[in-house]
Structure 1
Amino acid sequence: MRAEPSQMGQGTEDRDLPVLVVDLDGTLLRSDMLHETFWDVIGREPRSLPAIAASLFKGRAALKAFLAERTRILPATLPYEPRVIARLEAWRAAGGRTALVTASDARLAERIAEHLGLFDEVHGTEGATNLKGAEKARFLAGRYGRAGHVYMGDSAADLPVWAGAAGAISVNASGAVRARLEAEAKGGEVEHLPRDPGRGAAIWRALRPHQWAKNALVFVPMIADLAFDLPTVLAALVAFVALSLAASAGYVLNDLLDLADDRSHPRKRMRPFASGALPASLGSFLFPALLVAGLAVAMVQSGLLLGVVALYFAATMAYSVRLKRHSIVDICMLATLFTLRIVAGGVAIGVELSVWLLAVSMFLFFSLAAIKRLAELADVQAAGRAVSRRGYRVEDRSLLSQMAVASGYLAVLVLALYIDEPVVQEKFGAPWMLWGVCPLLLFWISRMVLVAGRGEMHDDPLVWALETRTSRKVMGLIAVFVVLAVVL
């Protein structure tokens, strides 16, 4: 039968309660320790990937032991399920005993149990035995007997465990798992702690669709070439979709690699994977799916575009795994990633990119990357720390400000020289209107440096620009000058 949430485990102290056995992954923890430890180790030691693969060939228990030995995850930073914590506290208050029994490595389980202080017993995977599914069911039957324990789990792997327990509590289980549990309950009490309804919205946030605005750079070659026929527009749109999917794959990957850092950040700790709104296991499957989809879309257009999108993702991965931790190198890589978007647009529509356009792009995007780091240092200072996650120190703010201004102004200078080129004079009806773009860019760059230096920029510079009224007005005026240069 099914019990209401208030019925199961709410007895008095004189009631002979069975042991409340709680699973870790997906139940007590709103994530999965196998995936958490994998991304933690890969993020710090990318060269360990072959050794991780070798340990997997020895079995999942060996893999878990290998990762447990190398992880630096702190139990205090993990995303716990508050409803399970509350149930454990209530059970112990009623005089019952509790046990953490998990397929995760026993050493990790013991650290988590020690941190929480809510368990009388802790059992996890040791040696060659993976304490999961039927193996866990046999262990619990031998230790407690059917009438001796109530089990809290979350997945189909827990069905044989629930079958051998006096009571079953599902936590964030899928509808299919809940239905099977109800059907196989065999008269035992069943309770469901349902999944949060916002998982779909959390997945959407993990893709960071607002960041897709950066991929509008693929349309720059089309605008520069004044090619607005339908095939050209469709080709650019294909590049936009392909890059957006690949970019989202990169964002998911970056979030997985940055879990520990994000959880200590005042704002980034609310990201879906860091907060536990999405488990790391979902991210492990989501990012390759997005990447494959992006590459497939690019292949529809051309093999050359496929190569550029693949290069973009490889550069994103190199940045996420290693290069973002190296001062100045990280800024250069960010500028390169922005420029690759313009390259993708040129490849998609089949035009040769101007050296002038590439030069403006590199200088401008280097400036924006420096502004991004400048804004982050303001957060670091506000948090009372001396060093950022990227290795910059608070005292580097002056240098970053100078780099941002110098590079941004160089981009405007190159643009001014480009406007005077014969090809521009021939292509545009009123090329002199393009001179109006230069002072607007000078103002825009200067204002962003000023705002970031004051600690008032709380997002990526481009995202901040799209959300700020003054910046939107500047971009609108730039668009007006470009349109007038074409139509007059």
Structure 2
Amino acid sequence: MASMDAIDRSEPDHSQPSSSRNPASSARTRPVPLCVDMDGTLLNTDSLIECVFALIKDWRALFAMVGWLLKGKAHLKQQLALHARLDPALLPYNTGLLTWLHGQKRLGRRLILATAADHVIADAVARHLRIFDEVIASDGVNNLRGTAKAEAIDRHLGGQPYAYAGNDFSDLEIWRHADSAVLVNAPKSVCKAAAEVTQIEAHVDDRAPWTRALLKALRPHQWVKNILVFVPIVTASALFDLAAWGDALLMFVAFCCTASAIYMINDLTDLAADRQHHRKRNRPFASGALPLYHGPIVAPGLLLLGGALAALAGAFGVVVLYAVCSILYSFKLKSMALVDLFMLAALYTIRLFGGGEASGYPVSLWLLGFSSFVFLSLAIVKRVAELMALPPENKGKPAGRGYRAGDLDILRLMGVASSFTSCLVLALYVQSDLALGLNALDALYWAIVPLMLFWQCRLWLATSRGKMHDDPIVFAAKDPVSWVVCGAVFAIVAIAHLPV
């Protein structure tokens, strides 16, 4: 069979082919066609699941899917493909396999894309890659999976011997009919089963373990935002109420679980937009590092766990409100100019309410006023950073957002004004009758005002210089100066509570 050296990362040096025989030598004696599976093999994703998540934001599509499925899975695939219109240029391809296939093409081997996906998607992928001679795919009537695909290949080739590249147990039936197998990122159990029914031509295994990708998909670096649940305890001068800290800690974990679930849902429903972003394209689902089916399994579990922990802390309703608002934001509101900014600010504020509800120290109107302006400013920082980082191919408009590059000036103005207004509210509180007399050293609170103003001005300066991560909280978590400011504020609060 025609073949160049395959990549086999199961070998110690990760560079040598793991063919059961020499492919180059076989090419001279038996040049059979190579049929290549698409989902999970050529693509590091599943096109059917991609189509579902591309349409899931439209509630009308959910009802339509039920009707399509009643007419058969092949019809469902066809309608999903027609309505989703996946862009083949954005799909995550198996680069190791593509390199290997290009080598086969140069050697003159006949390449056939043989997939259970619908012809609409398969033809688009074949046109994009320009290495396949023919396409065998489902057609709205026949669902070419397993035995049906093996029969379709036999008919197409007229009984001629062929090799087949696949990745899972559904491909075993094809391998039983094939002359040889190319195993692509296949589990050990699949490799063993394939070896029992045909000879192995080559292995291509270049995918990293999904466990690390799953952890990355949870975005643990974003959990720093949930520290906001402890703020009501600090502002209520209850630093030594251990029971309140324990309940707030439960809420912290509840928000971490819920937020991670929402991040996964957001990533699944925003695949195309993420793949057009210079950094978000590396997210686990968008890049294909994590199979899409993990999302519908893990996200509901995290939501249930977050709700259970919030119920233990006595703030179940707050977490439900946070989840509902987050899902609304992910599905619709983030594409609406200005509405998205106020919703982002609200999601920060809900964390404060959650901490106050769990700890027994409700959020005061002063804290609400101050935090609302701070969080609005941070939300605007996020959007300004995204607009400034737009690549030329986006033509001044980020995918999935309601802004364009020309909005930068007015957004900066609104954001800086929000920063200064927040510090004005803080100054008024420090001087108010409510704050005066709380502690013997309450005059120290005045030092917090310039510290907060300095910190926010620093964020805006970093944004103006193009150094801002598109999430200011993540930027602050990695910024030593932000940690110094945070430590100074906490020290001021602690010293103000010292007995005199």
Tell me the TM-score normalized by structure 1.
0.92
Letter in 1 for 2:343: M
Q: Is the 8 A contact 1:238 1:297 kept in 2?
A: yes
2:107 is the counterpart of 1:94: yes
2:470 is the counterpart of 1:445: no
2:92 is the counterpart of 1:79: yes
Distance 1:384 1:176, change over 3 A: closer
2:122 is the counterpart of 1:112: no
State the partner residue of 2:18.
Answer: 4
Whichever structure has more helix as a proportion of its residues is 1
Q: Is the 8 A contact 2:345 2:372 kept in 1?
A: yes
State the partner residue of 1:132.
Answer: 145
Distance 1:386 1:213, change over 3 A: same
Distance (whole Å) between structure 1 residues aligned to residue 119 and residue 162 of structure 2: 20
| 3-state DSSP of counterpart to 2:24 | coil
Q: Is the 8 A contact 1:146 1:166 kept in 2?
A: no
Distance (whole Å) between structure 1 residues aligned to residue 489 and residue 25 of structure 2: 70
2:254 is the counterpart of 1:242: yes
2:71 is the counterpart of 1:61: no
Distance (whole Å) between structure 2 residues aligned to residue 414 and residue 345 of structure 1: 21
Q: Is the 8 A contact 1:17 1:95 kept in 2?
A: no
| 3-state DSSP of counterpart to 2:470 | coil
2:326 is the counterpart of 1:316: yes
Q: Is the 8 A contact 2:181 2:198 kept in 1?
A: no
| Residue 375 (structure 1) shift | 1.2
Letter in 1 for 2:263: Y
2:469 is the counterpart of 1:458: yes
The range that moved more, 135-144 or 363-372, is 135-144
| Residue 404 (structure 1) shift | 1.0
Letter in 1 for 2:188: G
| Residue 120 (structure 1) shift | 1.6
Distance (whole Å) between structure 2 residues aligned to residue 239 and residue 92 of structure 1: 57
Equivalent of 2:408 in 385, 390, 397: 397
The count of residues paired between Structure 1 and Structure 2 equals 482
RMSD: 2.4
Q: Is the 8 A contact 2:20 2:201 kept in 1?
A: no
| 3-state DSSP of counterpart to 1:122 | strand
Letter in 1 for 2:229: V
| Residue 385 (structure 1) shift | 3.0
Letter in 2 for 1:180: A
| 3-state DSSP of counterpart to 2:266 | helix
State the partner residue of 2:272.
Answer: 260
| Residue 337 (structure 1) shift | 0.5
2:354 is the counterpart of 1:344: yes
Distance 1:231 1:60, change over 3 A: farther
Distance (whole Å) between structure 2 residues aligned to residue 437 and residue 383 of structure 1: 44
Q: Is the 8 A contact 1:10 1:91 kept in 2?
A: no
State the partner residue of 1:385.
Answer: 395
Distance 1:135 1:453, change over 3 A: same
Unaligned runs of 5+ in 1: none
State the partner residue of 1:233.
Answer: 245
The range that moved more, 418-427 or 233-242, is 418-427
| Residue 295 (structure 1) shift | 2.1
| 3-state DSSP of counterpart to 2:293 | helix
Distance (whole Å) between structure 2 residues aligned to residue 81 and residue 187 of structure 1: 24
| 3-state DSSP of counterpart to 2:34 | strand
Q: Is the 8 A contact 1:249 1:290 kept in 2?
A: yes
Distance (whole Å) between structure 1 residues aligned to residue 21 and residue 312 of structure 2: 57
Distance (whole Å) between structure 2 residues aligned to residue 259 and residue 95 of structure 1: 35
Distance (whole Å) between structure 2 residues aligned to residue 383 and residue 97 of structure 1: 35
Equivalent of 1:171 in 179, 184, 187: 184
2:230 is the counterpart of 1:216: no
The range that moved more, 385-394 or 70-79, is 385-394
Distance (whole Å) between structure 2 residues aligned to residue 48 and residue 298 of structure 1: 33
Distance (whole Å) between structure 2 residues aligned to residue 210 and residue 230 of structure 1: 26
| Residue 460 (structure 1) shift | 0.8
State the partner residue of 1:155.
Answer: 168
| 1:229-286 residue CA offsets vs partner (Å, 9 max, x unmatched) | 3332221111111111111111112222222122122222222222221233333433
Distance 1:336 1:128, change over 3 A: same
State the partner residue of 1:476.
Answer: 487
Q: Is the 8 A contact 2:183 2:200 kept in 1?
A: no
| 3-state DSSP of counterpart to 1:455 | coil
Letter in 1 for 2:31: L
Unaligned runs of 5+ in 2: 1-7, 9-16
Equivalent of 2:380 in 364, 370, 389: 370
Distance (whole Å) between structure 1 residues aligned to residue 211 and residue 75 of structure 2: 34
The range that moved more, 77-86 or 157-166, is 157-166
2:445 is the counterpart of 1:434: yes
| 3-state DSSP of counterpart to 1:358 | helix
| Residue 329 (structure 1) shift | 0.7
| 3-state DSSP of counterpart to 2:135 | strand
Distance 1:169 1:8, change over 3 A: farther
Distance 1:425 1:146, change over 3 A: farther
Distance (whole Å) between structure 1 residues aligned to residue 55 and residue 324 of structure 2: 19
2:294 is the counterpart of 1:282: yes
| Residue 432 (structure 1) shift | 1.5
State the partner residue of 1:297.
Answer: 309
